[in-house]
Each structure stands twice: as structure tokens, then as C-alpha cells.
Amino acid sequence: MNFNHYIRDVENFPSEGITFKDITPLLQHEKAFKASAMALLNLVPKTPIDKVIGMESRGFFYGPLLAMELNAGFVPVRKAGKLPFEKVSQTYDLEYGTDTLEIHKDSIIEGERILIHDDVLATGGTAEAVCALVEKLGGTIVQCNFLIELEFLKGKEKLKGHEVRSLIQY
């Protein structure tokens, strides 16, 4: 299945000069959604995964599905101020500013094998911040897994030392 047919370009979102890759048409098409979830699962190495991390907010679409199929727990990484319990924070740069991500302090046990998932790898700042959070908590990153990679932004360079896989590349 050609998943590119289900990705919509939205010009000047979230700010002027950015072309946003909108995955909602993919999510809305039941066969494409299921096929893309299975294709993402097939990118994961055949090694046990203890937890899948999904980044706010679009990492929440596929992250729990991957966790269920991998018999793993799911851990949400959220923007600052959204998690209710003790947390660890990491500030990072975006294409258009800075932001802070947080994870619950007790969400990863030292040595657990972690799959990090998000919808898009752009400049790599978000994924790099999540890798730092996982490592602060003692997790072992098995793979960084993305629906889409914007290769021209070279985000993979910020994730050196980690296995990076993506289903769709632009």
C-alpha cells in the first residue's frame, strides 16, 4: 500500500514557511490505518520490548497500538505541566522555538528495553529530548520509530548511536 497517498501537505502550518505533513487522512482510512500500524510494527527488531514511548500528541496514535502488539507497556511523554505525578523534564529546540517534555519518574525501570515512537522525524529535537529522558531513567533504547522522516532536515543526525527507522521518507 502506498501510504503517501494518505498524507496531506498543509502549507504555512504551524507557522509561515513550514509545510506540515498531516496524517489525519491516513488515520481516517480504516485499511490504510491498520496497514500502516502493521508496517510500523514490522520495522521493530525481533527483540523484546518492555515499553513503548509515544510523544505528545501524535505519537499517541500508534504508540499504544505498537505496545499492545509487542506485549509492552505504553509510556506517554507530554509537554510541561500535563503529567500529574513526579516527573523528569528535558528542554529542546524546535524548528520554530523551544519546548519542554516530561515523563513520569517511575515510568521506566533501569535496564528496560524501550521503543520510542512518533509520527514525524523532522529536525530531531523532540526525539533527541525523549532519548535523553529515557537515558536519565536508565532505559535502553532499542529503536526510534517514525511514521514519516523528513530526510532533508537531517534529524537522524541528532539520534546518532540509536537505531532509527521510518515508514515513509520525504
Rounded CA-CA distance 100/78 in Å is: 9
User: Phi/psi class of residue 73: alpha, beta or left (left: φ > 0; alpha: ψ in -120 to 50)?
Assistant: beta
Our answer to whether residue 58 is catalytic in this structure is yes
Of 46, 68, 40, 48, the closest CA to residue 111 belongs to 48
Question: Which element (helix H / strand E) includes 42?
Answer: helix 30-43
46-169: CATH architecture? 3-Layer(aba) Sandwich (3.40)
Name, in order, each residue with C-beta under 8 angstroms of 115's C-beta and a sequence gap of 6 or more: 44, 49, 51, 52, 53, 66, 70, 72, 142, 143, 145
15 in helix, strand or coil? coil
Residues 97-136 as b/e (b if ≥16 CB within 10 A, e otherwise) read eebebbbbeebbeeebbbbbbbbbbbbbbbbbbbbebbee
* pLDDT profile of the chain (170 residues), mean per 10: 97 91 98 98 97 96 98 98 97 81 98 98 94 98 98 96 97
Domain locations in the chain? 46-169
Check 58, 102, 128, 149 and give the catalytic one: 58
Check 56, 95, 135, 163 and give the catalytic one: 95
* Residue-averaged pLDDT of the chain: 96
Of 151, 161, 101, the closest CA to residue 124 belongs to 151
Rounded CA-CA distance 12/9 in Å is: 10
Our answer to whether residue 8 is catalytic in this structure is no
Q: What is the pLDDT of residue 95?
A: 61
Dihedral in degrees, nearest 10, Cα atoms 36, 13, 152, 47: -30
Q: How far is CA 60 from CA 10, 47, 66, 107, in A?
A: 21, 22, 10, 16
**Cβ atoms 74, 54 nearer than 8 A:** yes
Rounded CA-CA distance 168/69 in Å is: 21
Q: What is the pLDDT of residue 97?
A: 72
Q: What is the pLDDT of residue 96?
A: 64
Question: How confident is the model over 92-139, as pLDDT tens digits?
Answer: 977 667 899 999 999 999 999 999 999 999 999 999 999 999 999 999
